[in-house]
Amino acid sequence: MPELADPSLMRTQAFVAGEWRDADETIPIVDPGKNEPFTEVASCTAAEAEEAIDAAEKVLPEWQEKTAEDRCAILAELHQLIRDNEEDLAKILTLEHGKPLDQARGEIRYANSFVKWFAEEGRRAYGDLIPSADAAKRLLVFRQPVGITVGITPWNFPSAMITRKLAPALAVGCTFALKPAQKTPLSALALAALCERAGVPAGVVSVIPSSSASAISKPWLEDFRVRKLSFTGSTEIGKKLYEGAGETIKKISLELGGNAPFLVFDDADIDAAVDGIMKAKFRNAGQSCVAANRFIVSKAIHDELVEKLKKRIEDEVVVGYGFDEGVTLGPLIDEVAVSKVERLVGQATDAGAEVVVGGKRHDAGLNYFQPTLMTGVDPKMDLTCEEIFGPVIPVMSFEDESEAIRMANDTPFGLASYFYSQDLARVWRVSEALEYGMVGVNTGLVSNAAAPFGGIKASGQGREGSRYGLEDWTELKYVAMGGLG
């Protein structure tokens, strides 16, 4: 294991009601780069999930009564602690996830940007004074915290997916219990340790790792005291949680699967588009819900763009262990993920698609796949209908703008989309026509703490980040105040 400046950040106990706890069972944590277990983490049960809510209920009045200034001061301290421990947090992340260390550092900074944003934005949960038709009345609207909240996060961004939920929840006065991904709980537990150091009162935050997601989510869904659930993960699981939350009429935020199109029009800056593709696909080895999944390129520039992409991949993408110098593409999370990518590529080639670069497992180890570029891809292939979650670029071509938009929208998903064009009128037309919650124009990166992150259709509901994300952790209260005449 890598040496940490502060070894106490490598936590393997659960954090329940302000206490660090062992459990009767443990979860083996595997280094994907070496495919070897390196530690074990406490595996909680429904009892710990319920205890976290009991503790949250007890401390909720105290936490809500704090001023926004006081809560945000604690978040500001958490932000500084994350900055001070950035390298250790990045090493923990690379160890349990596999992404190259430099990308792990980038994720920690990105995760911390939400802490900073909401440490500032939490002071601005504004309300309204509505003009009244009755001179003896005043009509007030203000925001109050939802109350006890819970989150369930995925393995692909084990720090950032937490802070996007944790920071706004704490900023407005909610308590927050978290079930992190089974494969990557160490980043979550390290953040819990820093919350404790920052002065978050006991019980306000709990982190409940478990080998059984249903064992933790079931009591949370059934408990009426839990007023909001925020989930990032697959659409299939999101549907089940959505249904379960209906039993107690909870607020629910769902950031689910994607099938992001990346359109390149004939008036695009091709070199800039290629640069955007490299960022939108190979960051995190393609294991991102906003990773570009389908590349829809004008026939007029198809061959030129493919040739430039081929050269960039061959010259720049370095596959290897996340801690090795110069590596830009690490392993996938496990062998199951590799097998899925292998299946999708194999089916496409069997159906007539051509592999330009890559197309096979990489000899770096069991969990590695070659960076892959394919042409001759049909829109109906599984490769373009399923979320790849791997380093594969399937290229299709189109004749005109209307065809490109139709191809881009031909999916039940609606999270992120991207396109390149230098025609200002086209930029407006296509931005408005794409059925997605987020659109990147002449950029391959859309995530920003100041912007609302989220999708439509089968990609979920609700937003994270920005003032809109803050509002998702509040309830509106209307007060009609009479007798003032």
Which residues are the active-site residues? 255, 289
**Bridge partners for 207 per DSSP:** 15, 178
The DSSP call for residue 367 is T
408, amino acid identity:
A
Question: What is the Cα–Cα distance from 265 to 252, expressed in whole angstroms?
Answer: 37
- Give the torsion sign (CA, 329, 96, 149, 80): negative
Sequence-separated (6 or more) residues with CB below 8 Å from residue 180? 153, 158, 162, 187, 188, 189, 207, 209
User: What is the 8-class DSSP label of residue 202?
Assistant: B
Structure tokens at 251: 């607020």
Q: In the chain, what's the furthest Cα-to-Cα distance?
A: 81
Say how far apart CA 190 and CA 68 lie, in whole Å.
Answer: 25
H or E element at residue 27: strand 25-31
Q: What angle do CA 453, 317, 420 make, to 5 degrees?
A: 45
Judge whether 276 and 295 are in contact, CB under 8 Å. no
- In terms of DSSP bridges, do strands 25-31 and 251-255 run parallel, antiparallel, or are they unpaired? unpaired
Q: Give the separation between CA 252 and CA 275, rounded to whole angstroms.
A: 36
Q: CA angle at residue 365 from 362 to 369, to 5 degrees?
A: 30
- Neighbouring CB atoms inside 10 A of 474's CB total 21
Which helix (H) or strand (E) covers residue 255, if one does?
A: strand 251-255
Distance of CA 196 to CAs 19, 59, 192, 345, Å? 10, 14, 6, 46
